Structure 1
Amino acid sequence: MIQIYHNNRCTKSRQAFQELENSGKPFEVIYYLETHPNKAQLEELLAKLNIKPFDLIRKGERVYLENYKGKSLTDSEWIDVMVENPILIERPIVVSGNKAVIARPTERIKEILF
Structure 2
Amino acid sequence: MSSVQILHNPRCSKSRQTLQLLQDNGIEPHITEYLKHPLTEAEIKTIFEKLGCNSVLDMMRPKEAEFAQAGLDKQTITTEEGLQAIARYPKLLERPIVIKDNQARIGRPPEAVMELF
Alignment TM-score, normalising by the size of structure 1: 0.91
Deviation at 1:25, TM superposition (A): 2.0
Task: Determine the C-alpha separation between the residues in 2 that align with 1:18 and 1:69.
Answer: 35
Q: Supply the distance in 2 between the matched residues of 1:61 and 1:16 (Cα, whole angstroms).
A: 21
Q: 2:33 maps to which residue?
A: 31
TM-fit CA distance, 1:26: 2.7
Shift in Å at residue 59 of structure 1? 1.7
Which residue pairs with 1:68 in the alignment? 72
Residue by residue over 1:30-79, the C-alpha shift from the partner in whole angstroms, topping out at 9 and shown as x without a partner, is 10001111011011000100013222110221222454345623211111
Following TM superposition, the consecutive aligned residue runs of length 4 or more in structure 1 with deviations greater than 3 angstroms are none
Q: Secondary structure at the match of 2:11?
A: coil
Identical positions, percent:
33
Question: Could you tell me which of 2, 10, 13 is aligned with 2:12?
Answer: 10
The residue aligned with 1:80 is: 84
Structure 1: any 5+ residue segments left out of the alignment?
none
Which range is displaced more, 103-112 or 56-65?
A: 56-65
SS of residue paired to 2:9: coil
TM-score by length of 2: 0.89
Partner AA of 1:15 in structure 2? Q
User: In 1, distance between residues paired with 2:44 and 2:60?
Assistant: 12
Q: Give the distance between the partners of 1:26 and 1:3, measured in 2 at CA.
A: 9
**Aligned CA-pair RMSD:** 1.5
Aligned mates of 1:26, 1:15 — CA distance in 2: 14
**2 CA distance for matches of 1:76 and 1:65?**
16
Distance 1:70 1:111 in 2: 28
What is aligned with 1:58? 61
Task: Please give the per-residue CA displacement for 1:10-39, whole angstroms capped at 9, x wherever unaligned.
Answer: 000000011111111231001000111101
Q: What is the rounded CA distance, in whole Å, between the counterparts of 1:62 and 1:106 in structure 2?
A: 25
